[in-house]
Structures are given as C-alpha cells and as structure tokens.
Chains A and B, each alone.
Chain A
Amino acid sequence: MRKKLYILLATLGFLTYSSDIFAQDANTKIKAIFIYNFAKYVEWPPQKANSDFVITLVTSNTGLIKELEKMALTCKVGSQKIVIKVCTKPSEIGTSNLLFLGNDKVSQIAEYNTKCLANNILLVTEGTGLIKKGAILSFVYADNKQQFELSKINAKKAGLYVSNNLANMAKTVEQ
C-alpha cells in the first residue's frame, strides 16, 4: 500500500517543476535611456524646437521600437512631445530630429546620412567605427557594457551641438 502511495506521488508530478521565467531583456531599455539622453544633450537649430520631437527608427529590432514607444508615452524633450516613427527607406525620414539606424541597416548609412545632414537630423547607429561613415553617435560594446562613440565633426556638419556632458561619457570622441 505504501508502495502504491509512492507511485501515486510520482504520478502527481512531485519531481516536475514549473517552467522558469526569464525577465525581459534589459539591453533595449539601456538603449532607450541612452537615446533619451542623446535627445537631452544635443541642441538642434531653433526651427526644430517648435514642433514634436520626432525619433525615426530604421531597424527590425521590435523590442527597441516598443521600448521607445513606451518611453514616448511618459517623456518629453524639453517641452516637445516625443513621436516615434518607423521607416524603411531614406525618402520616408521627413523632418525627424533623431534617426536611429539599426545594425541590420547600417549598409545604407550613406543614403541616410545625406538626408540627415540636409535636415539637421541626429544620426545614431549601432557598431564600431560608424562615426567614420557619417554617424554622429554610435552604440558600441565595451567592457560588457553598452557605450557610445561620438563625432563632434559630424554633429557640426549636421548643424547640431553636442553638450560636453555627453562627450565626457563617450568611449571615443572625434573632435
């Protein structure tokens, strides 16, 4: 009888465990915080300060898109409301303030850069050395952390001013 009860215990699943739950990935949150900081520490020409603050995303990273949309619900840049746009080709970028080009799209950096320079758009990319190809800010990985490279030269070309507070935190600064 005792043996039977032991068998019963086994069939009741004593030795099975509920599946483990992993917390949502945090890298997109870090990236979103960085992007918000970029928006705070960069100055746009006055004509860009009168309407919504438009962040255009060219990326297949849906996690980041969602995270930034969440951010836009609660945050502002100064008094500007944040608007998130997603686009797939340079002609769609319009009058954005910031353009994020994901690492899966950086092969098109030249085309996007042309548009950005002409429209005072902060071009942010992912990958090492992309400031040499026109990016103003680019996310890089170092010491197991997300950091960024900054090109003040490219910023100046786009008619933008980057605060020294942000420059001080950059891994690499191209003056």
Chain B
Amino acid sequence: MNVLKYISLVISILTFGLIQNSYAQSAKVQEAITALQATDYHKAQTAIDLASTTYPTNNQSKTWYYKSFIYKELYKNTTNNDYVTATLFSVEKCIKLDTTQKYIASVKEIAKFVLASEKIKSTQFFNEKNYNKAYSSSINILKWKSTLQFPFPDTTTTYIAGISAYNIKNNQDAIIYLNKSIELAFTNPLIYATLADIYIQKNEIENANKILNLATDTYPSDTVLANIKVVHLKNTKQVNELINTLKLTIPLFKNRVPKMILLAKTYEELAQNDEIGKNLHLQNAEKLYLEVISVDENNLIANAGLGIIYYNQAVDIINKQNYDIDVVALDQIQNECVVIFKKALPYMLKAYNIDKLNYNTLEGLSGIYFGLNDIPNSNKYKEELSKIKKK
C-alpha cells in the first residue's frame, strides 16, 4: 500500500512538472508575442529562442512561425546575415510542422520578403562589381528557394550567380549557373560571351563552338558575340567556319575593313592548302582587298595583300611550266607575267609609301622588280630590308 502511494505520488509530481514545464514554454512563446507586440525584438528573440530549443514548443509550428516573424523583423533593422538563415530555417521548420496549414501562407510571405530583400542586396553587390558578395548572396538565395520549393525559377539571381562566379574565377560554378540561365531563357548576350570565354580558356573547343553558334543564332546582330566567335575560329584555325561566320557578320560592323581584311587573309590561308580551289580563294581575297581599297585607299594590308597576290600569281605561272616548253612559248609566258608583275607594282609601292619599314612590303617590292628583271631596283629594296633587319 505504501509502495503504491509512493508511486502515485511520484507520477503526480512528474505530471505536475511536465504540465508546469509545458506552461512555462508556452509562456515563453506568449512572452515572445507580447515583446513582439511591444516591438521589443531582442526580448522577443530571447524568449522565442528558448521556446524553439525546448520541448514541447520546439515541435510546434506556432513557435517557428513566431520565430520566423521575429527574426524577419530583426533582419529588417540590420544587415546581419545570421538573421536571414534563422528566418528561413524557421520558415522551413514551420512548413514541416504545420500539418493544419495554419501558418504556411504567412511564413511563405515572410520567406518571400526576406529573399526579395536579399535579391536587392545581391543585385547591388553585382552592380558595384563586388562579385564575392554577389556570388555568396545569390547562391544563398537560390539554395533557399530550392529548399522552400519556390514555384518559379529565379532567372536574374541565377544569372548573377553565374557572372559573379566567373569574375571570382570559380569557372565550375559559372558554367553551371550560366548554362542554367540559358535553360531558363534569360536574355543577355553576356551569358554566352562569358561561357564562351570560359570554354576557350579551358581549351574546350567543341563546347566553345556550341555556345558561340547558339549565341550568334540567338543574337545574330550582336557584334561582340560575332567578334568573340571570329577570334575563336581564327585562333583554333577553323578556316571554313571562320569564312562562313565572317561572311555573315561583316555587314553588322560599322567599320567593316578589319573583318574584310581578316576574311581576305583567311581566303589566302585556305588557298595555300587547297590546290584545287586555290584560284577561287585568291579571287575572293582579291575582291575583298579591292573593296577595302575602295573605302580606304591607304590601307597598308590591302595594298600589300594585292601586291603579293599578283606577284605570287605571276611566279606560279612560271614555276608550273615544264622545262621542255620551247622558247617561243616561254616568251609568251614572260609577256603574260610582266603584265601581272606590273599590276602588282603600284599596290606594293603604295604600301611602301604608307610604311617604309614594313618587311613584307620591302620583300615584295624587291621580288616584283626582280620578276620584272629590274635588278637595280630589286637590289635597292633588298638593301633597305637588310638595313632594317640589322637595326
């Protein structure tokens, strides 16, 4: 009997203790609410922190709702990032515990507010070129939006994360977020330019090709993208693709001359490795140089380029002859070549007058005069070239 009385007494004490504790914790939540109403956020914070770490209130959605609300208020008055995490963590807990869905709509609004404010900060960091902060802040936003299952993707923040990652040399993340931006149809040519630059740096030629093709298809009139593609194709010696790209993009540029010259040079390069198409490629280069000269008569490269094309044309005619052609035929060939050498001469002289120290021009002039069997003039330019080389 005594034993039973003893047990009953213990149970009563324990039950009373639990009830008392429960009351005490509920009182803490109430205390937090009261402090909140009095806008004493720090007192509210202390009370809600205790409630959220003690049974049973730590398993109640109400506690986490108030905690998210209190921390949101604290966040509003400071830039402390810990409040962001605490608010959003509380939102997450509340959503998990709120089986009756009493608080879900409200906590989602709290999360929206905090994340929208963070997005403004992230954009500010980005605009100020503080890429380290812009990166960490944007990554945090994206992480929380994913955790809280926000229904719509955040394209701007994804873009900021990608560009910021690139600027802090985190190319791995830059590739992820920039590709994600493209998937989300975020419209900014810089995404393509940046991704292309990363692939080029990593020497991933195929990826660079893919992104640049996509870039120029998406933004056919963007000259920066066109330039990047042209440079990439030139540096990776993708000659045919370079020619096609230049043909398409030259009309985009106000100053078309550099691109026309590059195209002409590319045709010349192609001619060197394509015996069958050689003449056609050289004709294309010739046309381009003549077009350049029609708008810029003092263009050194176009003048020298034409001089060299004609010079080589004459030399090729002679060099392809068999040794057993007769003297009469040889004379006719020489006549034909004299005409071509004379065609080359004014362009090469013009180039020489534009830049008297240019190796190619001096070598070309010496060669043309030699072809014309004007040995004194040929030697004159050869000597000039030799003097320059000695310097």
Contacts and interface: CB of A to CB of B under 8 A. Distances in A.
A144 B374 contact: yes
Interface string A1-38: 11001101100111101111111111101101110110
A25 B227 contact: no
A20 B312 CA distance: 11
A111 B326 CA distance: 32
14 contacts: A5-B193, A5-B224, A9-B231, A17-B261, A23-B315, A26-B318, A27-B370, A30-B318, A33-B325, A37-B327, A40-B324, A144-B341, A145-B335, A146-B373
B347 to A, nearest CB: 13
Contacts of B371: 25-27
Interface in A57-115: 71, 74-75
A144 B338 contact: yes
B334 A145 contact: yes
Given A20-B305, A23-B312, A23-B316, A169 B331 contact: yes
Nearest to B266: A18
Contacts of A145: 331, 334-335, 338, 373
B228 A141 contact: no
A26 B265 contact: no
Contacts of A165: 326-327
B173 interface: no
A15 B371 CA distance: 31
A21 B70 CA distance: 77
Given A23-B315, A37-B326, A71-B323, A141 B375 contact: yes
A14 B258 contact: yes
Interface string B304-346: 1100100110111111010111111011001101100110000
Interface of A: 1-2, 5-6, 8-9, 12-15, 17-27, 29-30, 32-34, 36-37, 40-41, 71, 74-75, 141, 143-146, 165-166, 169
A22 B367 CA distance: 8
B314 A26 contact: yes
Contact of A33 (B308, B323, B367): B323
A20 B304 contact: yes
Given A34-B327, A166-B327, 10 more contacts: A5-B193, A15-B258, A20-B268, A20-B305, A34-B330, A36-B323, A75-B324, A144-B372, A144-B373, A146-B334
Nearest to B268: A20
B227 A20 contact: no
Given A26-B319, A33-B325, A1 B163 contact: yes
B106 to A, nearest CB: 40
Contact of A23 (B301, B319, B373): B319
A30 to B, nearest CB: 6
A22 B363 contact: yes
B224 A24 contact: no
Interface string B361-380: 00110010011111100000
Contacts of A29: 318-319, 321
A1 B190 contact: yes
Nearest to B301: A17
Contact of B373 (A14, A18, A27): A27
B348 to A, nearest CB: 11
A37 B325 CA distance: 8
Contacts of B326: 37, 165
Interface in B231-288: 231, 234-235, 258, 261-262, 265, 268-269, 272
A12 B373 contact: no
Contacts of B370: 25, 27
Contacts of A75: 323-324
